[in-house]
Structure 1
Amino acid sequence: MKGLIHLCYRKLIDASSQKAWDKFVFDDTHLEFYMKAQYFDPKGKHKTLQELVTNVPNASQIHGMVSTAAVGYLRQLNDIVPDITNPYGKLCLPFKRFKFEIIHSHIHRKAEHKVTIYFYSEPLTWIDTIGHQLLVAYGDQREALANGEEVETDLITLQPFLNISSVRNQ
């Protein structure tokens, strides 16, 4: 047994995103960015997020303010990370925490809007690595395993943008 871990999945959303959920997040976060940009820069001198952050005091708050446009969509996920499935094709990775970030945005050129959402999993007991898959049990099952008890497991495939964000051995 390797220990207790948390995984982090980074989901990129931009104009090329194809899934309906991604498109809704894209559209609504761009609209919210547009409105917040007007709030911080009523004269419209700055067109991009970078220009705003560089030239307008407190404009770095835009990330958090725009994240509110994504919260309703995050609730629709029912605390399960999108895109990460087990071998049966079922979404399987529970999360409670996330971090929203605007990578780039332009108030008039929506196609340049790009955001990312970091999903941080709930604790998983990392039992082993099999090829490119992590054998895990949900929650802290270290004691049950140490006592020889049977625990339910799952396999999660390592893939781009999925990372072990923390580990605790004991």
Structure 2
Amino acid sequence: MQKRVIILCYRKIIDIRSVKQWDKLVFESTYLEFKMQAQNFSQGTDYTSYAQLLRNVPNAQRLSGMVTPSVTGYIQQLGSIMPDILNNIGRRFLTFSKFQLEIINSDINDKEKHQVAVNFYSEPLVWHDTIDNYLLVSGHSPENQSAAENNVVATNLMQLQPYINISSLQYHN
């Protein structure tokens, strides 16, 4: 039987209305860094919004990458465990191996327009089954591989929810 190995992407959107403490810290940090970095692109122009900069200033798409270092400390605080995603018994279980910061919207002069997304990419998971709107998954690690040979593997049942996507699918024999 072929094994399906997937990587999930969780897109966490953070803006002025975010209420969790971690989200607020990321919001403040990314906005301050955006304001500082955007000055390099807006100097001598009337452009203040991220969209205007993208449309009119060469290399402005680099801003997301330039703002990313402002969140690395907050990402490390998570201990490689994805925020907000719980299994069916209410525990955070999904580990991530990489992340990507994306500026969705912002304006140098209007903090309320600032919106970012942190895209978390899970470690590889074995996708065993889909039950209604739940995925039955297990880790794709050497320990789980040897356990699978004994026909026993630890699994997690997680509900599909907005902003979760299967970002890659790979078949193994």
Q: Pick the TM interval, shorter chain.
A: over 0.9
Match of 2:151 among 140, 149, 152: 149
Q: Normalization by structure 1: what TM-score?
A: 0.92
Contact 1:125 1:142 in 2 (8 A): no
Cα distance in structure 2, aligned partners of 1:107 and 1:44: 12
Question: In structure 1, the residue corresponding to 2:104 is in which secondary structure?
Answer: strand
Alignment of 1:10-29 (within 5 A): 10-29=11-30
Question: Which amino acid in the other structure matches residue 24 of structure 2?
Answer: K
Number of residue-to-residue matches in the alignment: 169
Task: List structure 1 segments (4+ residues) > 6 angstroms apart after TM superposition.
Answer: none
The answer for the alignment partner of 1:163 in structure 2 is 165
Contact 2:22 2:74 in 1 (8 A): yes
Cα distance in structure 2, aligned partners of 1:37 and 1:54: 14
Question: Which amino acid in the other structure matches residue 93 of structure 1?
Answer: L
Contact 2:42 2:48 in 1 (8 A): no
| Cα displacement (A) at 1:142 | 6.0
Question: Which amino acid in the other structure matches residue 5 of structure 1?
Answer: I
Question: In structure 2, the residue corresponding to 1:74 is in which secondary structure?
Answer: helix
Cα distance in structure 1, aligned partners of 2:3 and 2:18: 35
Cα distance in structure 2, aligned partners of 1:83 and 1:15: 18
In 2 relative to 1, CA 142–130 (structure 1 residues): closer, same or farther, beyond 3 Å?
A: farther
Q: Does 1:57 align with 2:58?
A: yes
Alignment of 1:17-166 (within 5 A): 17-43=18-44, 45-140=46-141, 141=144, 144-145=147-148, 147-166=149-168
| Cα displacement (A) at 1:168 | 1.4
Cα distance in structure 2, aligned partners of 1:53 and 1:63: 11
- Deviation per CA, 1:34-89: give whole Å up to 9, x if none: 00111222235211011112222211110100111111111111111110011222
Q: Normalization by structure 2: what TM-score?
A: 0.91
Cα distance in structure 1, aligned partners of 2:132 and 2:42: 51
Q: 5+ unaligned residues in a row in structure 1: which ranges?
A: none
Cα distance in structure 2, aligned partners of 1:89 and 1:57: 46
Contact 2:14 2:117 in 1 (8 A): yes
Aligned residues with identical type, % of pairs? 46
Contact 2:99 2:120 in 1 (8 A): yes
Cα distance in structure 1, aligned partners of 2:87 and 2:147: 22
| Cα displacement (A) at 1:167 | 1.2
Contact 1:10 1:118 in 2 (8 A): yes
Cα distance in structure 2, aligned partners of 1:135 and 1:142: 16
Q: In terms of mean alpha carbon deviation, does 135-144 or 28-37 score higher?
A: 135-144
Question: In structure 2, the residue corresponding to 1:60 is in which secondary structure?
Answer: helix
| Cα displacement (A) at 1:90 | 1.4
Cα distance in structure 2, aligned partners of 1:66 and 1:131: 39
Q: 5+ unaligned residues in a row in structure 2: which ranges?
A: none
